[in-house]
Amino acid sequence: MIGAEAAQPLRVLHLHSTFGPGGKERRSVDLMNRFGKGLAHTVVSAEPGALGAAALVDKGLTLDLPQDFPPLAGRFSVRRLQAIARAMQGFDLILTYNWGAMDAAMAHALFAPGLRLAPLVHHEDGFNADEAERLSRKRNWYRRMALARAWALVVPSWRLEAIALGPWKQPAGKVRRIANGIDTKAYGRKAKADALPRVIKRPGERWVGTLAGLRPVKNLRRLVRAVKHLPPEWNLVILGEGPEREAILTEAMDLDIGHRVHLPGHVADPAAAIGLFDLFALSSDSEQFPLSVVEAMAAGLAVASPAVGDVAEIVAAENAPFVTPAGDEAALASALAALAADEALRRRVGAANQVRARAEFDAATMTARYGAVYAAALGHARFP
């Protein structure tokens, strides 16, 4: 409790680039659920209607999804930023997420003193396809200006921390690196064959699985092409939704493996389904600290992945040979093939990954670290 102030829940405003059920959104919801009933949450998405992660918020929590909040994205204008700033009034803590909410951070930078706005903590988790290979100088400049009054900038990865301190020119005291975490023990249980909608794992089948938003930056068609070369008992199962669904299915049909590629959609509880996978794969062009890799490790799976973001640092040493050069499609396919061909190897690597996930990436540690940042921003001893 925080003295007399604890009688009323703290009002927290979350301004997201999107609130679809992706990695950063699931982390945000997990934190909401773990912090409990001492908070009242208001969530806004820069993508209208992209609010699927709201279904994962515990029913007992106070959650508002306003439809009349000023648009977070659009043509730059001082009037629009001023409207966003005014809509921020009345909250105790403002949390912004990724580039899609950067105009909100800029609005805070410009108008916080005059409007007496609450402290703002910004979160950066990675980049869209347009910055996957090279950072935008214009966006670097805009971030520097927009984060001028942010109390803290939270990043999950070593690479993003270096970018924040370098091109974004953020003071060292402002940047906080907090590794993503999950309830690692929940991922060790055996999954039922019918745990997924619209697809059942049949005797004798082996599954390469992944959890990803179906977006171009995830390059899931690359994964389809890699699975083409695996023995026929191997299927590809992609858990997620997004605009690339038809392109992925078309790729599978063109390669004559449409019957081996399954897209059952978004799964609310990955821990209940990921145990169906025999092997986990990532195919992204850009990542920072992919939560899905930690989930796979906690489930005791070996991981084949390009060396994007912090993947090479996340996995256990035994898994390192199967983290391939970024962009090298042939190398990724070879890593998948090597793991698919050797069940004992998969089990050995998966066991090492599980030990590391439980030691380094559990949600309890992550929650405590986020709580410390938010409490300090509010000048409180603890959060909430």
Segment 191-206, tens digit of pLDDT:
888 899 889 999 999 9
Q: What percent of the chain has pLDDT over 90?
A: 86
Task: Check pLDDT > 60 for residue 178.
Answer: yes
Task: Check pLDDT > 50 for residue 3.
Answer: no
Task: Check pLDDT > 60 for residue 149.
Answer: yes
Task: Check pLDDT > 80 for residue 6.
Answer: no
Q: What are the pLDDT digits (tens) for 270-288?
A: 899 999 999 999 999 988 8
131-159 mean pLDDT: 92
232 in the Ramachandran plot: left (φ > 0), alpha (ψ -120 to 50) or beta? alpha
Q: Is 383 within a domain?
A: no
- CA distance linking residue 28 with residue 96, whole number of Å: 11
Task: Check pLDDT > 70 for residue 129.
Answer: no
- Is 205 found in the same domain as 61? no
Q: What percent of the chain has pLDDT over 70?
A: 97
- Is 137 found in the same domain as 218? no
Q: Which long-range contacts (CB under 8 A, 24 or more apart) does 317-326 make?
A: 317/352, 318/348, 318/349, 318/352, 318/353, 319/349, 319/352, 319/353, 322/349, 326/285
Q: Is 384 within a domain?
A: no
**How many CB atoms neighbour CB 127 within 10 A?**
23
253 in the Ramachandran plot: left (φ > 0), alpha (ψ -120 to 50) or beta? alpha
User: What's the pLDDT band for 130 if we cut at 50, 70, 90?
Assistant: confident
Task: Check pLDDT > 50 for residue 1.
Answer: no
* Average pLDDT for the chain: 94
Matching residue, tokens 């410390």: 372
346-350 mean pLDDT: 98
- Is 162 found in the same domain as 260? no
pLDDT of residue 186: 93
- CA distance linking residue 219 with residue 118, whole number of Å: 39
290-299 mean pLDDT: 94
| Tokens found for residue 205 | 């089948």
| Tokens found for residue 332 | 């990724």
306 strand-pairing partners:
324
Residues, the chain, total? 384
Inter-residue contact 251 to 233 (CB < 8 Å): no
pLDDT of residue 7: 64
Is 0.85 topped by the overall pTM? no
- Is 353 found in the same domain as 224? yes
Inter-residue contact 265 to 197 (CB < 8 Å): yes
125-139, 241-255, 332-346: the lowest-pLDDT one: 125-139
- Is 300 found in the same domain as 325? yes
2-6, 251-255, 261-265: the lowest-pLDDT one: 2-6
Domains identified in the chain, total number = 2
- Is 238 found in the same domain as 130? no
346-360 mean pLDDT: 96
- Is 162 found in the same domain as 199? no
pLDDT of residue 188: 82
- Is 213 found in the same domain as 274? yes
What angle do helix axes 78-87 and 102-115 make, rounded to 10 degrees? 70
Matching residue, tokens 């974004």: 168
The one-character DSSP state at 377 is H
Q: What is the residue range of 37's domain?
A: 3-181+362-378
- Is 173 found in the same domain as 67? yes
